[in-house]
Structure 1
């Protein structure tokens, strides 16, 4: 298979991975019997930390394949650069802030409502839309 075929495969695996975790697991775990807020937050911290690492694999592998396939400077690469920028912002700001807040709640602190989860959901939506747009655009080049 050509590098762009692997890139297409990786692109849609990335979308499926993010969608399953962010849009299903994240809220379903709180519906399980016996899962308290503290337990749900502990599980969420573990899962989202792992997801972040896997997403970096997807992002960096996608960049490498983009380079090898000759599409690195192509205008459609913009659709891939935005999700990687979002991933960077999530890694250095949003996830650490959410983890700190979760630790406080787990330890029993009562905190006022926060907009961090809304930022995260919005970032995930933009990321998924951009990755799908990249994959569809790439499919159109074959």
Structure 2
């Protein structure tokens, strides 16, 4: 396994672990903690997801550089493209809508839940599956 391929594998699984830990464990559980109001939960969530998305963006750039240095094959590259594409859609289209909605809630407005949240979750599931597929494909290609 080349250095670029080893880095790609490690970075993809690190990225996957972060998405699983934050999106599927921390995010839903914070609202079940005692005395955590919707406003507090939204405030925490905004900070955590801003940090997560920043790290994800960095990892995406580094992973793409590793792919450029040593392409892992067509199927793994397509899987990775799905993960990166999901992240881009989240950052460019979904997060701004969620931010506007959380701004309104934090300002005391009452209204229906945002459907954008469901889109974000669907993209998280797609991203997690694509990252898992990428990591497994790169690892299995390295095994003779």
**Shorter-chain TM-score: which interval?**
over 0.9
Q: Show structure 1 runs of 5+ residues with no match.
A: none
How far is the alpha carbon of 1:37 from its aligned partner? 0.3
Q: Which residue pairs with 1:89 in the alignment? A: 89
Indicate whether 1:14 and 2:20 are aligned. no
Q: TM-score, normalised by structure 1?
A: 0.94
* Aligned Cα root-mean-square deviation (Å): 1.2
- Look up the match of 1:62: 63
How do 1:122-141 and structure 2 match up within 5 A? 122-141=122-141
Moved over 3 A (4+): none
Q: What CA distance in whole angstroms lies between the structure 2 residues aligned with 1:117 and 1:70?
A: 34
1:29 to 2:53 alignment: no
Contact 2:82–2:127 (CA under 8 A) maintained in structure 1: yes
Moved more, 32-41 or 1-10: 1-10
Runs of 5+ consecutive residues of structure 2 not aligned to the other structure: none
Q: Post-superposition shift, 1:34?
A: 1.4
